[in-house]
């Protein structure tokens, strides 16, 4: 896949992933831009990777970590409701999930976003996060339990 | 602890989670690409793009506490004790910081092509230029081959890697274009930045207005109070020091990078070395630009230098900043970053063992001890440069012997001189070989899945059938529960060979799984981890 095709196909998902990972929305597009720029510099390697998405997500996660992302708390903007997307999303559920993600530990948030939004496998998630696969498995189970236990998610 | 390990309910399936995450993502509006990755006709267009910004804010943030002086010739680095790093380029400790030796290739971060070439030639190196594809501004030095830190001799030739400015026409205009010249000015390697007629220079909220001519003179810049934190001087001094940092991570020398974040009206950038995301106390420099549409660059109208209070940042691993973190079992670069972040002084020594290279094997004072900023923390770090894995005893043999001992064979425990006892992956205590002869020494008591005290690996071994001689698994329930302390993670094949486990058959629920796991850390040190399922 050419770089431009990849950007066209994945950029929105990467931006949303960055926000779900805790990056403030106004910064997310720039973070993704920075990550994609890094990916472009080694696009040949990305293309040859077994799973290009995992490679790019690894760059994205590293970019987030290299930035001041540790200070971000994943707070939600409360001044307006986002525009509905074409898929007519369940806003109540979606916002409840975002609140739940923001309240979670970074470790739990990362595995949920990478496994269930970025659709990476356990092994790919482990590679992105530099963790043993077993740790990803256990963290995912705990994060799922935390999500399921969230009152707002349950009642939405 | 129990909440953490509570299993997800049955309805919490993968598909359920995917649906929720998709719903969450759908609440996030994404603008169409504001700055598409399209061919940029020329670098000049890039400058024009930068000038189009209505106003931009630039922040230069240092990621680690500064050590040493700030001139390029002294090449201060961020890690405090070279004895932590056995190779590839050991250096001598010159005092509180580390300095690259004169025969080590220096960092070229912050240099342009010409100044980097001159600097390297002044060291006696021959220099060839390698133009590398990059979306950054052209003619910036981005690295060398051999890399920074490599020892060299007189007349050696180094390849200087220089950006091509994205001349293959596939880059967005670099958002840091206006910043590099300012960094050159701060580093004394370029003309004064283009200042507005009046420039506001602010230090910790105290503003001073100077003329453009005064701003062009670094000696007229206001500085922080010398007694405040680890004051570095003026904003220019801070930038210069951050640019000169070199640190070592995973045995490789790492130089800073310049990162830019922002849109058309606001930009934030920072300089720093990777610290695994740990950002501690730091000076922050923010630049304010006033664009002039008729010019290729913006005018600098203000520079803010302020101390970014660490209290606003979450501790990297939680906990009370006045309490020493438990660093045993973590890798030395992480440990140093955390100690540095918390303001502790660090001393370290190394020892050879079968454990993974760079692991912190011990610390003094111990984790959890009350401590004050500036206290000295001593780390014992593992080095494995010359270990022959063959001299480490078979973990399987050791576990079989231990099982026989648990069943009453012999009166001396067949263990190493020291045994670390873990319960549920959490270190409990260390017992000596002499103490291990008494089964009571193996008894542990902790809040662990509501199991009654005492709990003992010997008891489990005694009552269990056989020893499954295999590495600690990464799959199945063994892997599920293998959220191990770093020290016990089987990171390399030869470490894998030194682990053995006796485990329950795969249970219906992983939370019912139990195991006794043994790590042959070194000839004189063993770790035994007892895992018990939900009670």
Q: What is the residue-level pLDDT of chain B in tens, covering all 535 positions?
A: 333 444 566 777 888 999 999 988 988 888 776 444 432 322 222 222 222 222 233 333 332 322 223 333 333 333 322 332 223 233 332 222 245 778 889 989 889 999 999 999 999 999 999 887 666 788 899 889 888 888 888 888 999 988 877 655 545 566 667 788 888 999 988 888 888 889 989 888 888 999 999 999 998 999 887 666 566 688 888 888 878 777 665 455 667 777 655 444 455 556 665 443 333 335 667 777 776 554 556 788 888 787 654 333 333 343 444 678 777 766 676 677 677 767 778 887 777 665 555 667 778 888 878 888 778 888 887 665 443 444 445 667 677 778 878 888 766 777 777 888 988 777 788 898 888 888 999 999 887 767 788 899 999 888 887 655 555 554 444 443 344 555 555 444 444 456 677 777 665 555 566 788 887 766 677 888 888 865 4
Residues of A in contact with B6 (CB under 8 A): 142, 145, 149
Nearest to B300 by CA among B206, B215, B184, B189: B215
To the nearest 10 degrees (0 to 180), the angle between helices A122-129 and A52-66 is 30
* B299 neighbors B182 (Cβ within 8 angstroms): no
Contacts of B380 (CB under 8 A, 6+ apart): B348, B349, B350, B351, B360, B361, B362, B363
* A70 neighbors B314 (Cβ within 8 angstroms): yes
Q: Count of CB contacts below 8 A, A vs B? A: 171
Determine the Cα–Cα distance for residues B151 and B155; give it in Å rounded to an integer.
Answer: 12
Interface test with A, best of B7, B10, B21 (most A CBs within 10 A): B21
Q: Which of residues 97-156 of B touch A (CB under 8 A)?
A: 133-135
Determine the Cα–Cα distance for residues B20 and B18; give it in Å rounded to an integer.
Answer: 5
Mean pLDDT across A85-105 = 71
* B376 neighbors B407 (Cβ within 8 angstroms): no
What pLDDT is recorded for position B42?
Answer: 28
Give the Cβ contact number of residue B42 at 10 Å.
12
**A35-49, A85-99, B181-195, B515-529 — which is least confidently predicted?**
A85-99
Q: Is A11 on the interface with B (CB under 8 A)?
A: yes
Tell me the whole-structure pTM to 2 decimals.
0.39
Task: Choose among A13, A29, A97: nearest Cβ to B23.
Answer: A97
Q: Is B1 on the interface with A (CB under 8 A)?
A: no
Residues of B in contact with A141 (CB under 8 A): 7-8, 480
Report chain A's C-alpha Rg in angstroms: 16
* Phi, psi (rounded to 5 degrees) for B139: 60, 30
Hey, is B104 helix, strand or coil? strand
Can you list the alpha helix ranges (DSSP code H) found in B204-257? 212-215, 235-244
3-state SS of chain A: helix, strand, coil percent to 5? 75, 0, 25
Are residues B21 and A113, on separate chains, in Cβ contact within 8 Å? yes
What is the β-pairing status of strands B282-290 and B56-61?
Answer: antiparallel
Two structure tokens written together for A64: 């987030």
Give the Cβ contact number of residue B14 at 10 Å.
11
E strands present in B189-329: 195-203, 206-211, 247-249, 252-254, 257-262, 267-272, 282-290, 299-308
Residue A152 has pLDDT above 70, yes or no: yes
Hey, is A117 helix, strand or coil? helix
């Amino acid at each position: 896949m050419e770089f431009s095709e990849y950007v066209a196909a994945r950029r929105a998902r990467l931006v949303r992933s960055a926000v779900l990972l805790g990056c403030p929305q106004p910064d997310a597009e720039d973070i993704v831009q920075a990550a994609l720029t890094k990916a472009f510099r080694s696009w040949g390697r990305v293309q040859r990777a077994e799973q290009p998405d995992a490679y790019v997500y690894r760059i994205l996660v590293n970019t987030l970590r290299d930035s001041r992302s540790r200070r971000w708390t994943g707070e939600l903007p409360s001044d307006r409701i986002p525009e509905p997307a074409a898929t007519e999303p369940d806003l109540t559920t979606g916002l409840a999930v975002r609140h739940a993600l923001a309240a979670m530990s970074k470790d739990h948030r990362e595995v949920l976003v990478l496994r269930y939004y970025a659709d990476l496998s356990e092994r790919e998630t482990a590679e992105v996060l530099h963790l043993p696969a077993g740790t990803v498995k256990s963290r995912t189970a705990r994060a799922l339990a935390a999500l399921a236990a969230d009152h707002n998610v349950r009642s939405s | 602890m129990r909440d953490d390990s509570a299993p997800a309910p049955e309805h919490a399936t993968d598909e359920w989670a995917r649906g929720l995450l998709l719903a969450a993502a759908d609440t996030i509006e994404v603008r169409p690409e504001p700055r598409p990755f399209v061919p940029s006709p020329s670098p000049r267009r890039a400058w024009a793009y930068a000038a189009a910004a209505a106003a931009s804010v630039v922040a230069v943030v240092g990621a680690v506490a500064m050590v040493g002086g700030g001139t390029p010739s002294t090449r201060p680095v961020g890690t405090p004790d070279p004895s932590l790093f056995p190779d590839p380029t050991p250096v001598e400790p010159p005092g509180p910081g580390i300095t690259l030796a004169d025969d080590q290739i220096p960092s070229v971060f912050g240099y342009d092509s010409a100044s980097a070439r001159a600097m390297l030639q002044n060291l006696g190196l021959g220099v060839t230029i390698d133009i590398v594809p990059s979306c950054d501004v052209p003619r910036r030095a981005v690295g060398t081959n051999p890399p920074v830190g490599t020892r060299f001799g007189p007349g050696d030739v180094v390849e200087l890697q220089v950006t091509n400015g994205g001349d293959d026409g596939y880059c967005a205009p670099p958002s840091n274009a206006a910043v590099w010249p300012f960094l050159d000015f701060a580093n004394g390697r370029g003309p004064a930045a283009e200042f507005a007629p009046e420039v506001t220079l602010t230090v910790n909220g105290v503003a001073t207005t100077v003329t453009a001519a005064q701003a062009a003179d670094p000696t007229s810049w206001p500085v922080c109070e010398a007694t405040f934190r680890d004051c570095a001087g003026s904003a220019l001094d801070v930038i210069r020091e951050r640019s000169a940092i070199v640190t070592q991570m995973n045995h490789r020398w790492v130089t800073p990078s310049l990162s830019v974040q922002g849109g058309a009206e606001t930009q934030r950038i920072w300089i720093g070395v990777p610290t695994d995301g740990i950002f501690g106390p730091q000076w922050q420099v923010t630049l304010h630009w006033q664009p002039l549409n008729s010019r290729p660059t913006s005018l600098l109208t203000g520079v803010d230098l302020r101390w970014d209070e660490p209290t606003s940042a979450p501790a990297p691993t939680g906990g009370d900043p006045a309490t020493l973190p438990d660093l045993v079992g973590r890798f030395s670069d992480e440990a140093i970053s955390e100690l540095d972040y918390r303001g502790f002084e660090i001393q370290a020594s190394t020892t050879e063992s079968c454990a993974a290279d760079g692991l912190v094997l011990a610390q003094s004072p111990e984790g959890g001890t009350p401590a004050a900023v500036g206290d000295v923390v001593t780390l014992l770090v593992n080095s494995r440069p010359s270990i022959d894995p063959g001299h480490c005893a078979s973990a399987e043999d050791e576990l079989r012997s231990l099982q026989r001992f648990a069943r009453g064979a012999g009166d001396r425990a067949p263990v190493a001189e020291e045994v670390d006892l873990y319960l549920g992956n959490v270190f409990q205590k260390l017992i000596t070989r002499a103490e291990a002869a008494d089964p009571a020494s193996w008894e542990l008591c902790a809040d662990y899945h509501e199991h009654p005290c005492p709990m003992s690996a010997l008891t489990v071994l005694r009552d269990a059938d056989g020893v499954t001689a295999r590495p600690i698994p990464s799959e199945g329930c063994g892997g599920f529960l293998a959220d191990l302390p770093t020290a016990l993670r089987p990171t390399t094949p030869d470490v894998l060979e030194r682990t053995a486990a006796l485990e329950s058959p795969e249970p219906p629920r992983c939370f019912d799984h139990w195991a006794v796991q043994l790590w042959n850390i070194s000839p004189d040190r063993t770790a035994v981890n007892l895992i018990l399922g939900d009670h």
